[in-house]
Amino acid sequence: MENMKKILEVKNLKKYYGSHGNITKAVDGISFDVLKGEFVAIMGASGSGKTTLLNTISTIDTVTSGNIYLNGVDITTLKEEELADFRRENLGFIFQDFNLLDTLTIEENISLALIINHEDVLKVEQKVDDIAKKLGIGDILNKFPYEVSGGQKQRCACARALINEPKLILADEPTGALDSKSSRMLLEAMDEMNERLNATILMVTHDSFSASFCKRVIFIKDGKIFNEILKGEKSRKEFFNEILDVLTMLGGDDSLAC
């Protein structure tokens, strides 16, 4: 049962901001697991603590208390200098605003992480080509980020996140800056990453449509887990409707409220 291996274990995680009498409990005792090969969405309204949760898992932010085990290693105990190596070897990131480096070409952006790991140059080229083709950006590799569309940029970010074959890919509102067509293309690409490459993905979103591509959705409200639903054998459409139902109970979804 290789597929049932726990990749991520979050245990009673707390993240508080502020001081003295004025404390904001952004994450307030959250626990959950992510298995290898899962595609999990974390949903919640603005300010529900979902991005903070993702930031703590991605080691960008520190925790107030609790533990996060990634592949058995408690990342809350790692030191600053160890974290860089850890991130490089275990995590892939996809951000809302792409975070591509505008002085590098798409190809260089994708390969940056590998080159820093001092991988064989020929191997790097091969890997970049492979992944770019899979994501449909093989023909823009020599362009600079400002020369390509938002969707292409985000697929480039996906390629960059995938190339290291990380244990876990973390995505923060990856469709936030994209139009609906590009969003759909990206989500399908992510779905494929998950299905065909067996990548484990944890995605934060407030968009029900995006979440409906996942296998499991965790709902967060006021820093706590409110509900959790599984796709199972349901169609994407059915799952989408189910997500909407939970959101109604939760008290509104940003995207629908607008």
Partner 1 sequence: MLAKLGVRNAKRSIKDYIIYLITVTLAFSFIFAFNLISNSEDVLNLSSVMDNFKYVMYFVNAFIILVVCFLINYTTKFMFSKRSHEFGTYMVLGIKKKQISRMFTLENLFLGVFAFLVSIPVGYLLSCLFSLIIMNIFDLPYQVLMDFNSNALLLSILYFGIIYLIALFLSRRRIKKMKVYDLLYLERQNEKNIIKHKHIRNIGFIISLALGIYAIYLFDGEFHIGTEPNMGTIFLCIGMLAVSIYGVTFTLADFILNLVLKSKKLKYSSDNLFVARTFCSKVKTMSFTLGTLTLLITLTLVSLNMSSLFKGMFDYQIELAAPYDININDDKTKFPEYISLVDEDYTILETFEYDAYEDSANNILNLIGDTWRTSDLVIPLSSYNQLLKMKGMDPVSLDEGEYLLHATREYKDTLDVDEIENITLSNGVDLHLKEFRTEGYTSSWAYGYGYIIVVPDRATEELTVSESHLIIDTKEDTTEELANELIAFASPDFCEENEYGYQVCYSLSNIVVRGQEEANNNGFMTITSFVFYYVAFIFTAVVGTILAIQSLSDSTKYKYRYTVLRKLGVRDKQLFKTVRKQLLLFFLFPLVYPVIVSICTITSLNDLFKLILANDTVYLVYFFSNLILFLMIYAIYFMATYFGFKKNIME
Report in angstroms how near the CB of residue 61 gets to partner 1 at its nearest. Answer: 5
With beta carbons less than 8 A apart as the criterion, state whether 199 and 193 touch: yes
Separation between Cα atoms, residue 258 and residue 255, nearest integer Å: 6
Binding residue for partner 1, selected from 35, 78, 112, 244, defined by CB under 8 A: 112
Report in angstroms how near the CB of residue 69 gets to partner 1 at its nearest. Answer: 19
Q: Which is nearer to partner 1, 81 or 233 (CB)?
A: 81
Query: Is residue 23 at the binding interface for partner 1, with CB under 8 A as the rule?
Result: no
Separation between Cα atoms, residue 41 and residue 214, nearest integer Å: 6
Query: Is residue 120 at the binding interface for partner 1, with CB under 8 A as the rule?
Result: no
Residue with token string 């993905």: 201
Query: Is residue 50 at the binding interface for partner 1, with CB under 8 A as the rule?
Result: no
Binding residue for partner 1, selected from 3, 46, 103, 180, defined by CB under 8 A: 103
Q: In the structure encoding, which two tokens stand for residue 101, read together?
A: 């480096």
Report in angstroms how near the CB of residue 20 gets to partner 1 at its nearest. Answer: 17
Strand partners, 93: 170
Report in angstroms how near the CB of residue 99 gets to partner 1 at its nearest. Answer: 4
DSSP category for residue 92: E
Report in angstroms how near the CB of residue 91 gets to partner 1 at its nearest. Answer: 8
Query: Is residue 230 at the binding interface for partner 1, with CB under 8 A as the rule?
Result: no
Strands 201-205 and 168-172, bridge-based pairing: parallel
Query: Is residue 179 at the binding interface for partner 1, with CB under 8 A as the rule?
Result: no
Helices (H), 93-179: 106-116, 121-134, 150-162
Closest of 41, 26, 46, 27 to residue 257, by C-alpha: 46
Query: Is residue 155 at the binding interface for partner 1, with CB under 8 A as the rule?
Result: no
Q: Please report, as a single letter, which amino acid is at residue 75.
A: I
Q: In the structure encoding, which two tokens stand for residue 108, read together?
A: 């260089």
Binding residue for partner 1, selected from 4, 81, 196, 233, defined by CB under 8 A: 81
Report in angstroms how near the CB of residue 85 gets to partner 1 at its nearest. Answer: 7
H/E stretch holding 15 reads strand 6-17
Q: Which is nearer to partner 1, 55 or 212 (CB)?
A: 55
Q: Which is nearer to partner 1, 107 or 253 (CB)?
A: 107
CA 178 to chain centre: 16
Q: In the structure encoding, which two tokens stand for residue 223, read together?
A: 């820093």
Report in angstroms how near the CB of residue 232 gets to partner 1 at its nearest. Answer: 34
Could you list the residues that contact partner 1 (CB under 8 A)? 55, 58-62, 80-81, 84-89, 93, 99, 101, 103-104, 108, 112-113, 115-117, 160
